[in-house]
Chain A
Amino acid sequence: ILNVEQSPQSLHVQEGDSTNFTCSFPSSNFYALHWYRWETAKSPEALFVMTLNGDEKKKGRISATLNTKEGYSYLYIKGSQPEDSATYLCARMDSSYKLIFGSGTRLLVRP
Chain B
Amino acid sequence: DAGVIQSPRHEVTEMGQEVTLRCKPISGHDYLFWYRQTMMRGLELLIYFNNNVPIDDSGMPEDRFSAKMPNASFSTLKIQPSEPRDSAVYFCASSFRTSSSYNEQFFGPGTRLTVL
Residue in A45, A49, A98 whose beta carbon sits within 8 Å of that of B45 in the complex: A98
Contacts A96-B56, A98-B48 hold; do A89 and B91 have CB atoms under 8 A apart?
no
Q: Chain B residues with Cβ under 8 A from A93's Cβ?
A: 102
Contacts A96-B56, A103-B42 hold; do A31 and B106 have CB atoms under 8 A apart?
no
Smallest beta-carbon distance A36→chain B, Å? 8
Whether A46 lies near B102 (C-beta < 8 A) is no
Q: Most chain-A Cβ atoms within 10 A of its Cβ — which of B42, B50, B110?
A: B42
Contacts A96-B56, A97-B97, A98-B56 hold; do A46 and B105 have CB atoms under 8 A apart?
yes
In the complex, whether A26 has a CB less than 8 A from a CB of chain B is no
Binary interface encoding of chain A residues 37-67 relative to chain B, with 1 for a CB under 8 A from any of its CBs, else 0: 0000011111001010000000000000000
Whether B109 lies near A100 (C-beta < 8 A) is no
For this complex, into which size category does the number of interface residues on chain A fall? 20 to 34
Interface size on B, residues (CB 8 A): 22
Binary interface encoding of chain A residues 63-100 relative to chain B, with 1 for a CB under 8 A from any of its CBs, else 0: 00000000000000000000000000100010011111
Q: Chain B residues with Cβ under 8 A from A49's Cβ?
A: 101-104
In the complex, whether A101 has a CB less than 8 A from a CB of chain B is yes
In the complex, whether A32 has a CB less than 8 A from a CB of chain B is yes
Complex: how many Å from CA A98 to CA B31? 10
- Chain B positions 39-76 with a Cβ under 8 Å from a chain A Cβ: 42-45, 48, 50, 55-56
Whether A101 lies near B42 (C-beta < 8 A) is yes
Complex: how many Å from CA A34 to CA B102? 9
17 contacts between A and B (CB under 8 A): A36-B104, A43-B91, A43-B107, A43-B110, A45-B107, A46-B104, A46-B106, A49-B103, A51-B101, A89-B43, A93-B102, A97-B50, A98-B48, A100-B45, A101-B44, A102-B42, A103-B42
Nearest 4 pairs of A and B residues by beta carbon: A46-B104, A43-B107, A32-B102, A101-B43
